[in-house]
Amino acid sequence: MVAFSGRHVIWSVHAPIVEAINAQAIQTQNCAWPVSDSRMCNMAKTDYQPVPHDVAFRKTLLAKPGVKKAFDALEEEYTALHAMLDARQAAGLTQADVANRMGTTVSAVSRLEASLRSEKHSPSFATLRKYAQACGKKLVIQMV
């Protein structure tokens, strides 16, 4: 498998597809991409090294001025998001399964899960309760 990183997405190309692309590639530039997308040739020639998002990376990142404060400010949102995702995964459900049980669309469930990472939308208690019930859980809100 060959992986190239875009701005936010990692594109994976498997061997049979690579062979088909190589057949149409720009051979003179030693590039494994079709002529119609020559900008990918320049990207393939870079020394891009993906950054691992592991414990060491997190520790280094949190040591930077201001990052820990910003990270801590988002703790509640990320805790809620992780609780939702953990509940869905523990139940062995996909977003489609949850959407079906909630009587909504997959895109609505995706937006709900993403809403806790942004300030654009705050889901209602009723929506969070439906999500919890769809995952076989009970919504509990607690102040500590």
What is the span of the domain harbouring residue 9? 2-44
- Checking if the pLDDT of 34 tops 90, the result is no
**Structural contact between residues 102 and 132, judged by C-beta atoms closer than 8 angstroms:** no
Which residue's structure tokens are 């919890």?
132
Q: What pLDDT digit, counting tens, does each position of 84-108 carry?
A: 999 999 999 999 999 999 999 999 9
Q: How far from chain centre, in Å, is Cα 34?
A: 28
Instruction: Answer yes or no: is 111 within a domain.
Output: yes
Q: What pLDDT digit, counting tens, does each position of 103-132 carry?
A: 999 999 999 988 877 767 788 899 999 999
**Do 122 and 80 have their domain in common?**
yes
- Checking if the pLDDT of 3 tops 50, the result is no
Name the token pair of 136: 């076989």
Instruction: Answer yes or no: is 17 within a domain.
Output: yes
Cβ neighbours for 55, distance < 8 A, ≥ 6 positions apart: none
Which residue's structure tokens are 């994976």?
12
Mean pLDDT of 59-66: 88
Cα dist from 15 to 2, 7, 35, whole Å: 8, 23, 19
**Do 33 and 84 have their domain in common?**
no
Read off the CATH number of the domain in which 106 is found.
Answer: 1.10.260
Query: Would you state the pLDDT for residue 85?
Result: 92
**Do 38 and 91 have their domain in common?**
no
Mean pLDDT of 4-29: 43
> How many domains would you assign to the chain?
2
- Checking if the pLDDT of 26 tops 70, the result is no
